[in-house]
Amino acid sequence: MENCSLPRLTALIAFVLLAAGSTATAAGGPNILILLADNLGYGDIGVYGGGIIRGAPTPRIDQLAAEGMRFTNFNVEPTCTPARSALLTGRYAIRSGTTVATPVPGIPQGLAPWEVTLAETLGDAGYDTALFGKWHLGASVGRLPTDQGFDEWWGFPNSTGIVNFPRSVGFDRSRMPSFNLMEGTAAGGAKVAGQYNYERRPFIEETIEQKSIEYLKARAGKDEPFFLMVSWSLVHHPSLPHPDFDGKSGAGRFADAMMEHDYRVGRVLDALTETGLADDTLVIYASDNGPDRAEYPWIGDTGPFRGYLGTVHEGSIRTPMMIRWPGRIERGSVTNEIVAIHDLYPTICALTDAKVPADRAIDGLDQRALILGESKSSARESVLFFKSSVLMALKWKEFKIFLRGENPDPDEREYHDLWTPRIFHLNVDPKERNDITHTGHLWLMGIINQELLPFVDTVRKHGLIPRGGDRPEPGEVDIPFYSQEMLERTLERGDQ
């Protein structure tokens, strides 16, 4: 009798130990850690052709890429606010009224409370949620992270560029509010935690790192899974490094800041390992958009591409992205399949049994099969790119089709109407210089229709949230070469 019971007892003990050591198993999904860089270019990281070549080695981020899957065709939106909106809602920012953000009081803006953020849907699925760092999706009560699903937040609601305002010639402090750091909880609300100014700027990354590590240590041993978004301030201008990194690269201030960024990422990843959470945590590292031109030429690098923040050329909308999940995602794998920042929302929801809202248009697609190695193909063939209320371009397979013109050079910020769409073959011409529209490629106009009409139909059915609005209203998107009347007639014909 005793001999028969021993194997059963041993198996029971093993099961209990396994269950206690695996948050992912207990919760039905992994912990989620998103490390989001600010304005970091495709060519800034070593594994993407930068690193030591740029005077700033990035060994820790390179190591992370080697431990998981690296993406070479990861597509974002052209500036910080729309990209972050897309990540947290799975929706094109034009649907959410978040294509533009201006740090000026009195202008309605920010993510509407009507939106269901990734933090909210993961919270409903039993996850503890926290954000440390940049928000840039609203600075008013009701639109802060603690109002939008994050249980805890420390950081700043606007962009880092605001620290330069008081240093500009003619600045009138009486006409502008002070820009603050904030902290708080969903239960107690967010409160001012000091000023965000030029003097404080070099120390922001250190605080984001410390807060993140403290959070991970507090989560160790807890049954409840977590979603931690580490929203770095670097390498956004002014790219002021911490004093410990000032002059460290020997290649200038931007390279110093890049080295600090790599170090801080490594520190958070080390804490994840030291707390025993690494094996049960899905880690995503990405940049929200390409480099800004503000401190040119001491800025990020776009790699083989052309274009800077605010444009829809590849240098702005194609950024580094890598995902690690030990034992689930193949180490050292690389994919050039089209993936969009919008896809992270439904993919994470699918991996965690969180629910994607069914009452609205979701533009992201579930990419589990690709990242888990079950398929070599992406769930998407195309992605749309907007600037304010205008559909500027779309990417389909290896082609990029511009419906409106723009100048992507560092000293120009100019947009113009086109006589015909401009088409580029990105594999042959990654800098988008050689228009092939009239070399037998006008057939791609048919592809535009096929990719465009489903989007227009969802706008017709679900509406758009106006900038600063509370919920969707009937709205239109400016689509060059297509009148609204023509689109309506085409859709009505398809409905019959």
3-class DSSP string for 144-157: CHHHCCCCEEEEEC
Q: What pLDDT score does 6 carry?
A: 41
CA–CA separation, 424 and 162 (whole Å): 36
The mean pLDDT value for 179-201 works out to 96
Q: Spot the catalytic one: 136, 237, 313, 342.
A: 136
Is 312 strand, coil or helix? coil
For residue 6, is it within any domain?
Answer: no
Regarding whether 372 and 258 lie in a shared domain, the answer is yes
Question: Residue 437 is part of which domain span?
Answer: 383-495
Per the model's pLDDT, the better-predicted residue between 115 and 24 turns out to be 115
Regarding whether 400 and 372 lie in a shared domain, the answer is no
Q: Domain boundary residue among 312, 346, 380? A: 380
Residue with tokens 């057939």: 443
The mean pLDDT value for 488-492 works out to 83
Q: What pLDDT score does 20 carry?
A: 40
pLDDT tens readout for residues 311-356: 999 999 999 999 999 999 999 999 999 999 999 999 999 999 999 9
pLDDT tens readout for residues 469-481: 999 999 999 999 9
Regarding whether 347 and 399 lie in a shared domain, the answer is no
Residue type, 145: P
Band of the pLDDT at 37, cuts 50, 70, 90? very high
Regarding whether 154 and 92 lie in a shared domain, the answer is yes
pLDDT tens readout for residues 45-73: 999 999 999 999 999 999 999 999 999 99
Give the length of the chain.
496
pLDDT tens readout for residues 284-295: 999 999 999 999
Band of the pLDDT at 412, cuts 50, 70, 90? confident
The mean pLDDT value for 382-409 works out to 96
CB 362 within 8 A of CB 356: yes
Is the pTM for the entire model greater than 0.85?
yes
CA distances from 337 to 60, 276, 355, 379 (A): 24, 32, 26, 9
Helices then strands, each counted (H, E), the chain: 13, 17
pLDDT above 60: residue 17: no
Is 15 strand, coil or helix? helix
Regarding whether 217 and 106 lie in a shared domain, the answer is yes
Is 75 strand, coil or helix? strand
Which residues neighbour 90 within 8 Å (Cβ) at sequence distance 6 or greater? Answer: 118, 342, 343, 344, 345, 346, 356, 362, 363, 364
Q: Domain boundary residue among 321, 354, 380? A: 380
- The CATH number for 140's domain is 3.40.720.10
Verify cis geometry, omega within 30 degrees of 0, for the bond prior to 235. Answer: yes
Regarding whether 68 and 173 lie in a shared domain, the answer is yes
CA–CA separation, 237 and 416 (whole Å): 28
For residue 8, is it within any domain?
Answer: no
- The CATH number for 474's domain is 3.30.1120
Q: What pLDDT score does 413 carry?
A: 78
Residue 99 Ramachandran class (φ > 0 left, ψ -120 to 50 alpha, else beta): alpha
The mean pLDDT value for 351-371 works out to 98
Regarding whether 354 and 298 lie in a shared domain, the answer is yes
Residue 282 β-bridge partners: 32
Regarding whether 222 and 178 lie in a shared domain, the answer is yes
For residue 406, is it within any domain?
Answer: yes
Q: Domain boundary residue among 355, 380, 405? A: 380
Strands (E), 253-408: 281-287, 318-324, 333-335, 339-340, 382-387, 390-396, 399-402, 405-406
pLDDT above 50: residue 383: yes
For residue 341, is it within any domain?
Answer: yes
pLDDT above 90: residue 103: no
For residue 62, is it within any domain?
Answer: yes
Band of the pLDDT at 15, cuts 50, 70, 90? very low
Q: What pLDDT score does 174 carry?
A: 87
Regarding whether 103 and 249 lie in a shared domain, the answer is yes
Per the model's pLDDT, the better-predicted residue between 24 and 97 turns out to be 97
pLDDT above 80: residue 114: yes
For this structure, is 349 an active site residue?
A: no
For this structure, is 4 an active site residue?
A: no
For residue 4, is it within any domain?
Answer: no
CB 29 within 8 A of CB 325: no
Band of the pLDDT at 372, cuts 50, 70, 90? very high
For residue 10, is it within any domain?
Answer: no
Is 444 strand, coil or helix? helix
pLDDT tens readout for residues 122-138: 999 999 999 999 999 99
CA–CA separation, 207 and 181 (whole Å): 11
Regarding whether 338 and 216 lie in a shared domain, the answer is yes
Q: What pLDDT score does 25 carry?
A: 39
CA–CA separation, 311 and 405 (whole Å): 10
CB 471 within 8 A of CB 114: yes
CA distances from 14 to 19, 272, 380 (A): 9, 24, 42
Residue 33 β-bridge partners: 228, 283
- The total number of structural domains in the chain stands at 2
Count CA within 13 A, CB hemisphere, residue 345.
Answer: 28
pLDDT tens readout for residues 216-273: 999 999 999 999 999 999 999 999 999 999 999 999 999 999 999 999 999 999 999 9
pLDDT above 60: residue 386: yes
Question: 468-496 in b/e burial notation, b at 16+ Cβ within 10 A?
Answer: ebeebeebebbbeebeeeebeebeeeeee
CA–CA separation, 446 and 470 (whole Å): 36
Q: What pLDDT score does 411 carry?
A: 80
Regarding whether 376 and 397 lie in a shared domain, the answer is no
CB 108 within 8 A of CB 139: no
Q: Spot the catalytic one: 4, 80, 313, 349.
A: 80
For residue 14, is it within any domain?
Answer: no
Regarding whether 398 and 422 lie in a shared domain, the answer is yes
CB 385 within 8 A of CB 312: yes
Residue type, 163: V
